[in-house]
Amino acid sequence: MKSMSINEKRLHERIDALGQIGKIGDTGVCRLALSHEDREGVRLVQAWMAEAGMETIIDPFGNLIGVLEGLDKEAPVLMLGSHIDSQPYGGRYDGVIGVLGAIEAVQTMAEAGIKPSSNIEVVAFCDEEGCRFNKGLFGVRGMTGKLEQGELERTDKNGVTRREALLGFGCDPAAFAGYAFEEGRIGTFLELHIEQGPILEALGEPVGIVSGISGPVWWTVEMTGFAGHAGSVPMPMRQDALVGCAKIIVGLNELASSDPEAPTVGTVGSLSVFPDSRNIIPEKVSFTVDFRDIDVKRRDSMENRLIALMESACAEHGLTYTIREDTRSDPRYCAPRLRTLLREQAALIGLTPPELMSGPFHDALIMSYVCDYGMIFVRCKDGISHNPKEFSSEKDIALGVELLYRTALRLTE
């Protein structure tokens, strides 16, 4: 293959340096959105953007944006990026390689004296993960005018609202009212990301081209029964909310597993019980439901069957339930012209990347509603992500960033 254009040493030093902020254990990170650690990470990334020759701002939604000016400042921009916030028990590559790889691509361009035809914007989007306020993709939805009612009043587990967290981060939510997304301002969005799955490793390929992103649905479900003494209420007379919840958890797993050939997935990842005492029958259980599929008809069919299962469990155990829908998005496919361009540029560096779908959602999911988007996946060991054991090799990451750089260069010639 041809020699690399990017500076691999600089790229990996930056990945390592950012991995020290919010570090847990030897390899993990915890940089929750809008936290002190997140702000520290943003400041460091902002300095690297400036070093790469970009003008930087943090917008009202907490997005860090670096701009490299092009020849035609009025032309639709090429946007590159991802996120640097993490899960509470996360790895150091998720999102990060997309932001730092984009900075490296722009810096390589600038150091070569290349003036792009249009502005290039590198973005570290705020709160992609959604774990703190139970609704993700906040920054990219804010930037594209897709926020919903009540988002600023969402609270984390400590009762801190998103509004308070934004203010503490240095952003002013009052500026939301005067913000309007300019249709057509962004021409193309490219995102580099670790695969977060095992397919590339199984195929022995360092990088892949994303064909599309599954459509996620997130619920917060609350089931309510009646509390009683665990030692005196007979089993047939109980209204145990946790038993009803348990049936939903098992049922969701069975529904998502019913077609072994389908990429359908379903997860209950968070659960709280009230009154939370060993000798009181649980009166109320709140839990999250996450299910997604690349085939929207199949996903919606599973949704209907899951609701029927809730109705049945509640009728059997004398419970009531409510569903708060936190997220819903249809599957979104990458632009064919970008997939073709990525294949062409990959061939020039000796790669033949396979195409694969993404089960996890990414900032690119929301960007797909306002412009063409493309994604590059980088192989990760054992498909592990959202875990301190998450790992991608320096060589694989460098190949992904080189492909990002060459594709960006072609798009701004």
In angstroms, the CA 297 to CA 181 distance is 31
Q: Is 300 annotated as a binding residue?
A: no
β partners of residue 383:
none
363 is in an annotated binding site: no
Among residues 362, 333, 359, the alpha carbon closest in space to that of 83 is found at: 362
Q: Is residue 111 marked as binding?
A: no
3-state SS, residue 320: strand
Answer yes or no: are the C-beta atoms of 403 and 344 closer than 8 Å: no
Q: Where are the alpha helices (DSSP H) in 189-295?
A: 199-203, 241-257
Q: 326 labelled as ligand-binding?
A: no
Burial of 223: CB neighbours in 10 Å, binned 0-12, 13-18, 19+ = buried
Longest Cα–Cα distance in the chain: 79
DSSP for 25-88? TTTEE---TTSHHHHHHHHHHHHHHHHTT-EEEE-TTS-EEEEE--SBTTSPEEEEEEE----T
HEC secondary structure over 190-213: EEEEECCCCHHHHHCCCEEEEEEE
Report DSSP letters for 336-391, one per residue.
HHHHHHHHHHHHHTT--PPEEEESS--HHHHHTTTSEEEEEEE--GGG--SSTT--
Q: 208 near 377, Cβ under 8 Å?
A: yes
What DSSP element (H or E) covers 314?
A: helix 296-317
Sign of CA dihedral 41, 44, 47, 49: negative
Cβ neighbours of 187 (radius 10 Å): 16
* Peptide bond before residue 234 is cis, with ω within 30 degrees of 0: no
Q: Is 36 annotated as a binding residue?
A: no
Token pair for 246: 């348990």
* Residues paired with residue 65 on neighbouring β-strands, in sequence order: 57, 123
Residues of each annotated binding site: 83, 94, 129, 193, 386
Question: Binding site for Zn(2+): which residues?
Answer: 83, 94, 129, 193, 386
